[in-house]
Amino acid sequence: MSVFSFYMPTRLFFGSGAVGKLSRARLPEGRGLIITGGSSTTKLGYVAKVAGILKEAGHETLVYDKVKPNPTIEGVRECAALCRSEKIAFIVGLGGGSSIDTAKAVAIMATNDGDWWDYIHGGTGGGKRMAKDGLPLVAIPTTAGTGTEADPFTVITNGEEKIGGGGEKCFPAVSIVDPDFMMTVPPHLTAYQGFDAFFHAAEGYLASTSTPMSDMFALQAIELIGRSLAAAVRDGSNAEARADVALANTLAGFVETLSSCTGEHAIEHALSAFHPDLPHGAGLIMISNAYWKRFAEVAGARMAAIARAMGKADATRPEDFLAALTEMQQACGVDTLRLADYGVREEDCGKIAENAVVTMGGLFRADPRRLESGEIEDIIRESI
């Protein structure tokens, strides 16, 4: 039995209508800042609903709504300056992973010196430790993909570096996962986000850092996605399917906390660093077949176990997982995605592979075997 630990200081509320629990959250006196992105959370009334619940609890709020789909260091700096100038007491990250990831970084930078990149390990990051706790953070996801409501990590882009950072000080104080806030996500984004959650769980199960506890969460998340993601893509109003995928996403966040993502995520981060219009989940889908087939000889039993969790009860071989993966892609209508559709060219493979190793090379150490640099290039090339 391996030695492992589990630290999860976040109070989690899950289920239809769970956002109402926000009124009971123990938050400091003073104004809150709602961090969100785009216009959907405003148009759908989510910002107003959250602000209204907080007002009933005695908290006034400001709104920052400039978060980009791939959140940037510039956005973190701007928002952290707003927190300091307005003497913000707590933060609410409302939206997809980009909004909550930005909120995590801003919460830290509102109380610590320097720049967020000073605390990044990898690439040009400064590698410093965070001296102070951040502002209390409430995470309210409106998508089911990143699991960031249940982990201490955040991914921010700085130029051509898209790097995950964080640590124990980046856990949300409260996370509210309300599937009612996810019902209007379009089919293609439901698929992209669902596959992101799937790979968080599957990679964490494959990783050399897996533990009995991460395995438990991973297999349950995979089972829920295998059962319900295609149904949620076909019919976004299917409340049961939405709830299954939302729960799977949160469980996959636990997997990230307990285990690790692997080289698949490092490669995709590099791809979307160079091509910001590439949705993260779509990039993972595109490279997945080429990535996973390279571990058939060394991780066949684990790959077969994932296939069984996906619904292939008689799976015994790694090829059964590769078949199940293709079938799930087909069922969700994403099996024809290619990197070329987003401008990735064969001559780019070398620099993208190098970026993946330089910025997030630690994830490759979690792979069942170490990929050579030429193999990383081949994974990208085969996905074009």
List the chain pLDDT tens, one digit each, 384 residues: 678 888 999 999 999 999 999 998 999 999 999 999 978 999 999 999 999 999 999 999 999 999 998 899 999 999 999 999 999 999 999 999 999 999 999 999 999 999 999 999 999 999 999 999 999 999 999 999 999 999 999 999 999 999 999 999 999 999 999 999 999 999 999 999 999 999 999 999 999 999 999 999 999 999 999 999 999 999 999 999 999 999 999 999 999 999 999 999 999 999 999 999 999 999 999 999 999 999 999 999 999 999 999 999 999 999 999 999 999 999 999 999 999 999 999 999 999 999 999 999 999 999 999 999 899 999 999 999
Q: How far apart are CA 83 and CA 257, in angstroms?
A: 27
Please list the residue range(s) of the chain that carry CATH number 1.20.1090.10.
186-382
Q: How far apart are CA 224 and CA 189, in angstroms?
A: 18
Q: How far apart are CA 264 and CA 290, in angstroms?
A: 10
What pLDDT does 3 receive?
83
What pLDDT does 373 receive?
86
Alpha helices in the chain (DSSP H): 40-43, 46-56, 73-85, 97-109, 187-206, 212-234, 239-258, 263-274, 280-292, 300-309, 318-331, 349-360, 373-382
Residue 307: CB atoms within 10 A of its CB come to 26
User: Could you tell me the CA-to-CA distances from 142 to 117, 258, 321 in Å, in that order?
Assistant: 27, 23, 30
Q: Within its chain, how far is the Cα of 276 from the centroid?
A: 16
Q: DSSP for 51-113? A: HHHHHHTT--EEEEEEE-SS-BHHHHHHHHHHHHHTT--EEEEEESHHHHHHHHHHHHHTTSS
Given the candidates 2.40.30.110, 1.20.1090.10, 3.40.50.1100, 3.40.50.2300, the CATH classification of the domain at 186-382 is 1.20.1090.10
Pairing of β 161-166 and β 153-158: antiparallel
Please list the residue range(s) of the chain that carry CATH number 3.40.50.1970.
11-181
Alpha helices in 94-186 (DSSP H): 97-109
Burial (CB count within 10 angstroms: exposed 0-12, middle 13-18, buried 19+), residue 8? middle
**Max CA distance (Å), the chain:** 60
Burial (CB count within 10 angstroms: exposed 0-12, middle 13-18, buried 19+), residue 19? buried
Q: How far apart are CA 152 and CA 254, in angstroms?
A: 10
| Host H or E run for residue 158 | strand 153-158
User: Could you tell me the CA-to-CA distances from 326 to 98, 266, 293 in Å, in that order?
Assistant: 28, 22, 12
Q: How far apart are CA 209 and CA 220, in angstroms?
A: 18
Residues 142 and 116: beta-carbon distance below 8 Å: no
Q: How far apart are CA 135 and CA 79, in angstroms?
A: 13
CA angle 19, 25, 26 (to 5 degrees): 170
Helix (H, G, I), strand (E, B) or coil at 167: coil
What pLDDT does 58 receive?
95
Given the candidates 3.40.50.300, 3.30.70.260, 3.40.50.1970, 3.40.830.10, the CATH classification of the domain at 11-181 is 3.40.50.1970
What pLDDT does 1 receive?
67
